[in-house]
């Protein structure tokens, strides 16, 4: 199943709130660099060719992965297909990406069962590369919580 949704963020970062309610940006360039340098992500993502849409509230970002390498991360402008889409309200992403998340926010799968996360697209792609997706979420968490 492919998705085609319009609307897009206008920057390469997404604003999230930290545990104190302060705004904190998610640096997508940092995510790409860290993912491509990460051995665990590389092992789990090997042979993965996919486009992944991450929707944080109304801000959408597309991640293109080729041969297990993150090739491009860009604002999602719609009009093209993605293989997988992960979406949730901003407050759920805020919880998932905390340095020490609350129960059922430690991992995408329980967050999709107990909270507002929706995962759509190619189920085989999702299942085959879930370890890579899980590690990518951990990388998002690490980048978000890095000291600035």
What is the reported pTM? 0.83
pLDDT at 3 over 80: no
Q: 55 — alpha (psi -120 to 50), left (phi > 0) or beta?
A: beta
How many CB atoms are closer than 10 A to CB 20?
6
pLDDT band at 147 (very low <50, low <70, confident <90, very high): low
Rounded distance between C-alpha atoms, residue 82 and residue 91, angstroms: 24
pLDDT band at residue 26, thresholds of 50, 70 and 90?
confident
Domain ranges in the chain are 13-143
Measure the CA–CA gap between 82 and 101, rounded to whole angstroms: 28
Alpha-carbon distance 113 to 50, whole Å?
Answer: 24
**Rg, C-alpha atoms of the chain:** 14
Q: Are 52 and 60 in contact (CB under 8 A)?
A: no
Q: What is the pLDDT of residues 41-86, one digit of tens each?
A: 999 999 999 999 999 998 999 999 999 999 999 998 877 789 999 9
What integer pLDDT is reported at residue 138 of this predicted model? Answer: 98
- At the fourth CATH level, which superfamily is domain 13-143? SCP2 sterol-binding domain (3.30.1050.10)
For 91-117, the pLDDT digits (tens) are: 999 999 999 999 999 999 999 999 999
Top-confidence residue, 125 or 15: 125
Q: Which residues pair with 15 in a beta bridge?
A: 25
């Amino acid at each position: 199943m492919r998705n085609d949704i319009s609307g897009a963020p206008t920057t390469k970062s997404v604003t999230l709130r930290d545990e104190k309610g302060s705004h904190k940006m998610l640096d997508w360039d940092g995510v790409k660099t860290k993912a491509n340098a990460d051995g665990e992500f590389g092992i789990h993502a090997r042979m993965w060719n996919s486009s992944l849409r991450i929707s944080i509230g109304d801000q959408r970002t597309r991640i293109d992965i080729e041969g297990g390498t993150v090739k491009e991360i860009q604002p999602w402008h719609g009009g093209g297909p993605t293989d997988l889409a992960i979406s949730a309200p901003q407050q759920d992403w805020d919880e998932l990406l905390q340095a020490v998340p609350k129960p059922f926010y430690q991992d995408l799968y329980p967050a999709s069962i107990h909270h507002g996360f929706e995962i759509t697209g190619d189920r085989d792609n999702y299942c085959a590369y879930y370890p890579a997706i899980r590690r990518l979420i951990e990388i998002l968490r690490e980048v978000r919580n890095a000291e600035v």
